[in-house]
Amino acid sequence: MKRMLLVALSTAWLLPAVSLAAADPKLVDSCNDCHGDKGVTTSQDVPTIASISASVHSDSLKAFKAKTRPCTKVSYKRGDTKRQGDMCTVAGKLTDAEMTALADHYSKLPYAPMKQPTEAAKVAAGKILHDRDCKSCHSNGGKDPADDAGILGGQPATWLKAALADFKADKAEQPKKMKDKMTKLSEPDLEALAQYYASQQ
């Protein structure tokens, strides 16, 4: 008995300091009720969360819980679609450990850009703005999760437009350099940027 304890103690250092619990499948399912199968959206008013970096994902959940990021009420896309919900309510019920596990879970799922119609003239105007103001932090058309700046390329145009308007109005936390650029953009600029990112495949 004593010997076994000694063996256990002497090998304890081999284990990682914090072992990450797997995300609860029921919880994942409840997220996918809005965000789509495997976190890939099929709805214009909900973003894809598959492959967003774990740090950005858990920071977003914390911001929703603290209500420092605006939450839009939307209808569920699966199950009882008459039900409505919003991220502040959803994140409000999550523990820190659940947030970490969910963020890790979704970061490992493959991204799939949404196929949607876009307007060529606006896409071209948006590309010019993106190259000038956004590319330094949102590389590869805003599609690289390694930027730790969310994923913009291939997200639904409606969600993009709403997110951009929130940042322009400074309703959500953002780096100072992004804020400086966002405040200078006009309404047509936001529309052009949303169309540009929506067009990225």
Q: Which residues of this chain interact with ligand HEC, rule CB under 6 A?
A: 27, 30-31, 33-35, 45-47, 49, 52, 56-57, 59-61, 71-72, 74, 76, 85-87, 90, 102, 133-134, 136-138, 149-152, 159, 163-164, 167, 173-175, 177-178, 181-182, 193
Q: Which residue is nearest to ligand HEC (CB)?
A: 150
Beta-carbon contacts of 123 under 8 Å, excluding residues fewer than 6 positions away, are 192, 195, 196, 199
Q: How far is the CB of 37 from ligand HEC (least distance, A)?
A: 13
The Cα 48–Cα 53 span in angstroms is 12
Nearer CB in complex with ligand HEC: 1/167: 167
The Cα 73–Cα 83 span in angstroms is 10
The Cα 74–Cα 44 span in angstroms is 11
Looking at residue 104, its amino acid is D
Is-contact 36 97, C-beta < 8 A?
A: no
Q: How far is the CB of 50 from ligand HEC (least distance, A)?
A: 10
Nearer CB in complex with ligand HEC: 9/22: 22
